[in-house]
Amino acid sequence: MQFLIYSARETELIEGCRRNESTAQKALYEQLAGKMFALCCRYVKDRMEAEDVLVTSFTKIFDRINQFEGTGSFEGWVRRIVVNEALSYLRKNKSMYLETDLAAADREPDLGNLNNHLEAEDLLKLVAGLPAGYKIVFNMYAIDGFSHKEIAGQLGISENTSKSQLSRARTYLQAKLLEQEKSSHPNQKER
């Protein structure tokens, strides 16, 4: 088992939260809230609802802080709670719809014509535009590092459905990238 060495500040905040010290909880919230809110927004479209997910997540983080054993990344542990809370929110609100009946794309788009001048913000906008099921699986696998087995367990789907959703999300994103490239360079000849 590998133990990570945390900064004195992070260790102090974790210990303060374990003692239910409001100043430590506030400092930890302020340190992580921005990143975790962005994470919530990747799953929950409405910003107000994403804020609700964030607040609920931090309540759970503070309630469960004693479960953090000090192995692995503390921020990674926090991220897992936030993702789980976002998924729970989507399940409760029936906003999560996995597209499993759509026909698979019959061909892969040709990415040879892309100039790859895409900014991270542009890519996040494309991901946000994915159909709900694609977006959830893509976020969980490609961004948050869940395995297909973990995704299947969390979403109540098969591993093959998770793999299919990821494949379709990638195909969808590739098509959108080509579309975007063609619209920004309309006079460029196809190869």
pLDDT tens for 42-63 read 898 889 999 999 999 999 999 9
More confident residue, 18 or 114: 18
Res 111: pLDDT:
40
Per-residue b/e over 102-135, b at no fewer than 16 CB within 10 Å? eeeeeeebeeeebeeeeeeeeeeebbeebeebbb
Res 94: pLDDT:
67
- Amino acid at site 21: E
- Mean per-residue pLDDT, 54-74: 92
Q: Could you tell me which residues come within 8 angstroms of residue 152 by beta carbon, excluding any fewer than 6 positions away?
A: 158, 159, 161, 162
User: Is pLDDT above 70 for 168?
Assistant: yes
Q: Could you tell me which residues come within 8 angstroms of residue 38 by beta carbon, excluding any fewer than 6 positions away?
A: none
Res 11: pLDDT:
87
111-184 maps to which CATH number?
A: 1.10.10.10
Q: What is the pLDDT of residues 82-112, one digit of tens each?
A: 999 999 998 888 655 554 434 433 333 444 4
Q: What is the pLDDT of residues 77-87, one digit of tens each?
A: 999 999 999 99
Q: Could you tell me which residues come within 8 angstroms of residue 122 by beta carbon, excluding any fewer than 6 positions away?
A: 180
Half-sphere exposure of 54 toward its Cβ, with a 13 Å CA cutoff? 21
144's tokens: 């948050």
- Measured distance CA(146)–CA(152) in Å, rounded: 10
Asked whether the whole model's pTM tops 0.85, one would answer no
Res 156: pLDDT:
86
Q: Same fold for the domain at 8-92 and the one at 111-184?
A: no
178's tokens: 């080509």
How would residue 173 be classed by pLDDT, with cut points 50, 70 and 90? Answer: confident
User: Is pLDDT above 70 for 39?
Assistant: yes
User: What residue segments make up the domains of the chain, in order of their start?
Assistant: 8-92, 111-184
Does 1.10.1740.10 match the CATH number of domain 8-92?
yes
User: Is pLDDT above 90 for 40?
Assistant: yes
Positive or negative CA dihedral for 40, 73, 63, 26?
negative
Res 145: pLDDT:
86
Positive or negative CA dihedral for 51, 37, 118, 178?
negative
Apex 92 CA angle, 89 and 93, nearest 5: 85
User: Is pLDDT above 80 for 5?
Assistant: no
